[in-house]
Structure 1
Amino acid sequence: MSNIEICMECKPSIREIIKMNEDELKKFLISHGLITDIMKCPNCQESCNLYNESIKKPDRSQTNYEKISLTNKRLYWRCQKTKYVQGNKRKKLIKCNFMSSFWAHTFFAKSQLSIEDIIHFVVFFITSNAPKTDLLQDEFGFSRKTVIDWVNFMHEVLLDWSFRNNSLMIGGEGKVVEVSESKLGGLICNGERVYGGQWVIGGIERSSKKMFIIPIKTRDEETLIQIIRKTIAPGTKIVSDLWKSYDSPPQECFLSLEGELLIPTNHSESFIDQATDANTQNIERCFRYLKRKIPKNKLTEEHYSNYIAEFLFVRAYPNIRDRIHQIFREISIMYDPTRLNDKRNYYEN
């Protein structure tokens, strides 16, 4: 068994990550679940041993941890356990010949970059402000294609985190949630958007600041109600705009939901409703911050989802040390090194 436990609350700084030597970086990666020194054979459930393809006679006195080298891409797991199986007439001795690359299913699989460069790239990506592509290209000296590929890998991790967290409801009895809509991006001519952009619906819980932002294709009551039921708990006091896109009064839509209530605010009249003191300034402020992070050029729907996921992650972890720790934990969730998909039967005579 490994003596290195999974890290749950470390707070590494950028400087600490950059100054790590190979052994320190190896412990960091194992403790955050990006690599492992323990592997169970998917066929016989026995412990696998780590081998170096370039060494014909491995040192069996070394532990798997000692064999790990971050610069060696030719490491592999192997199981050679034997067992007796009853045949037609007598028992047969069979051998498990399971084999898998040490780097398979990890965040570093099939990459030509060094492990150190990838780790530093992740840290710079998650701590720097947009636009990032030029900054990362200048900092690391990678080709633009390489930088874009790794930025996309990071966005996949953030989208995975966003999908899991957007499924959690906010609000509840006695809590207030602000709900509003906004259009992100799009080319603007003479003060009016000509084409492009992405409409989103967002909500924020005033007490905890938990929030959601969901891209939408159609702005209608059915879409609105579906999102509200999915993201906001019953009994929540909802503060929202009077949207012109709905035929019936918005309060009728919200009051049809059990335990929920709408307090309308019309920004064309006042930012704060004079009668009820209701406003949606918190969610509107978040929309403004999000728009600053999005490039002005034409983007696809996928691009907007990426920027939304990144914005929500950074907002959820405002402390840089917490953010660095969490991004590596999220990478390990999506790229689990212990997940071996090859379930073929490797037992042979």
Structure 2
Amino acid sequence: MAETDEVCMIELRSFEAEELVNRLRGWGFIPKEGDYKCPQCECPLALQQQGRADGYLWVCNFVSIRKQKKQKCDKTVSFRTGTFFANSKLAIPQILGFIDLWVEKAHLALISKLAKMSLQSAVYWASFCREVLLDKYLMHPEMLGGPDSVVEIDESQFGRRKYHRGHRVEGQRVFGGYERGTGRVFMEVADNGSTDTLLPIIKKWIRPGTTIISDYWKEYNCLEREGYVQLKINHSINFVDLAKGSMSFSGRTKDQLPGNLARYMFSKSCAERRVNKTEEFYRIAALMYDPTKPDTQRDPEEVSDEYVDKIDN
């Protein structure tokens, strides 16, 4: 979005209900008029002002004629139903403000103070936001690489979580890649970290001729035989790309959780594409929680507690 569309938490708090709705619609959080169908009669819902917490409610105004009598549907749907904000009692500006600070890696204790929410709420929302990014990259992977392209690959293992979007993943891991220059990302769940498992994923999402930056794990030793240029690094130390003079994988370890890996790739992608991280996260959250497509969503109650004790960021 243009710079004039960028907002900070202080500005969000001052939005009137109508202005906030317009902003949410612009970011994609709520549908445009005519796109949201009534779950009862499948006619378009209309957004109407109501004296409720968010100030609005979806209402079906369809009128049918049965036995020469007019019958109004009158089905109502909560403003938040099916959106990124569903199941939360926090004010929407609070949640948007949380994201504004979280994407900049502010400490959760500071965020909870500035956003006027409990630390417990901040921890939950940090976990949820990581899950949103992880879901996005797993469900919308992109093809990467080609000659003269550089792709960084990494992996991490699921922790105590037993299910991810209805699939048992305990003991499995997430494998992913990020392309320099374009900011494109792919992620995929892998049963294990063996060459037989990871190589087909690499060949599926990374084009031959790509320079792949990986660590020294022996599972990656076959890359050059498969038509890739391999550049090995040690994740436990800082790595300097002499060609670009930039740092990569600074102090990173293999025991990070998938959500943290997704967050890392999100930050790298935004920096590479020079897009505002807050606005980009809004766009992703709106994509993943589109009330017009409820079947594609994951129940927020499935958010794992594996991050609960990690309140640093």
For the aligned pair, the TM-score class normalised by the smaller chain equals 0.5 to 0.7
Evaluate the alpha carbon distance shift between residue 223 and residue 322 of structure 1 in structure 2; reply closer, same or farther with a 3 A threshold.
Answer: same
Contact in 2 for aligned 1:182/1:287 (Cα 8 Å):
no
Structure 1 residue identity aligned to 2:257: Y
**Counterpart position of 1:307:** 260
Contact in 1 for aligned 2:183/2:269 (Cα 8 Å):
no
CA distance in 2, matches of 1:151, 1:263: 34
Give the % identical residues.
23
**Counterpart position of 1:24:** 19
Evaluate the alpha carbon distance shift between residue 285 and residue 324 of structure 1 in structure 2; reply closer, same or farther with a 3 A threshold.
Answer: same
Superposed CA offset, 1:108-163 (max 9, x none) = 2232222222221221222234xx32222232342232222222222222122222
Residue 41 of structure 2 is aligned to residue 41 of structure 1: no
Query: Runs of 5+ in structure 1 lacking a partner?
Result: 1-6, 51-63, 86-90, 185-197, 273-278, 342-349
How much has 1:222 moved relative to structure 2? 0.7
Contact in 2 for aligned 1:121/1:136 (Cα 8 Å):
yes
| Structure 1 segment 245-284 matched on structure 2, within 5 A | 245=218, 250-251=221-222, 254-255=224-225, 257=226, 260-262=227-229
Residue 23 of structure 2 is aligned to residue 12 of structure 1: no
SS at match of 2:218: coil
Residue 100 of structure 2 is aligned to residue 123 of structure 1: yes
CA distance in 2, matches of 1:261, 1:141: 50
- Which region of structure 1 is more displaced relative to structure 2, 34-43 or 114-123? 34-43
Superposed CA offset, 1:282-336 (max 9, x none) = 8x94322655xx9xxxx7xxx7111111111111112886222221121211222
**Counterpart position of 2:75:** 98
Contact in 2 for aligned 1:177/1:206 (Cα 8 Å):
yes
SS at match of 1:168: coil
Residue 90 of structure 2 is aligned to residue 113 of structure 1: yes
Residue 231 of structure 2 is aligned to residue 317 of structure 1: no
Residue 31 of structure 2 is aligned to residue 77 of structure 1: no
CA distance in 1, matches of 2:60, 2:178: 50
Evaluate the alpha carbon distance shift between residue 211 and residue 20 of structure 1 in structure 2; reply closer, same or farther with a 3 A threshold.
Answer: same
Evaluate the alpha carbon distance shift between residue 68 and residue 126 of structure 1 in structure 2; reply closer, same or farther with a 3 A threshold.
Answer: farther
Superposed CA offset, 1:68-99 (max 9, x none) = 677346835234521448xxxxx997654533
SS at match of 1:40: coil
Contact in 1 for aligned 2:134/2:262 (Cα 8 Å):
yes
SS at match of 1:317: helix
Aligned length: 274
CA distance in 1, matches of 2:294, 2:190: 36
RMSD over aligned CA atoms reads 4.4
Larger of the two Rg values belongs to structure: 1
Query: Runs of 5+ in structure 2 lacking a partner?
Result: 158-171, 296-313
**Counterpart position of 2:138:** 163
Evaluate the alpha carbon distance shift between residue 315 and residue 69 of structure 1 in structure 2; reply closer, same or farther with a 3 A threshold.
Answer: farther
CA distance in 2, matches of 1:126, 1:144: 17
